[in-house]
Amino acid sequence: MSPNRDDLPERARAYWRANLRLIAVLLSIWAAVSYGAGIVFVEQLNRLSIGGLPLGFWVAQQGSIYVFVVLVLIYALRMQQLDRKHGFEE
């Protein structure tokens, strides 16, 4: 049986709202980088090169993965702060 939404303390709801907001922001950044740099702006990026490869190709193949790893690190660090702020730290 799942708990009633009204039974959750305000602190838990605030924590969950902050968590969802953080996830939405980070996923939006990742989507913008993956789609924008890898597809929409590929022609402009291909005017530059890294290691002999066009930048647009590099971003589509490697860059979006690096951005994702950085976003995961940011999420973990920010969640530690949110845990402490809302009293849910381990």
Predicted TM-score (pTM) of the model is: 0.76
Confidence at residue 2, expressed as pLDDT on a 0 to 100 scale: 46
44-87 tens-digit pLDDT: 989 998 888 898 888 888 888 999 999 999 999 999 999 999 88
- 11-17 average pLDDT score: 92
Rounded Cα–Cα distance for residues 76 and 66 (Å): 16
State which H helix or E strand residue 50 sits in: strand 49-50
| Higher local confidence (pLDDT), 45 or 7 | 45
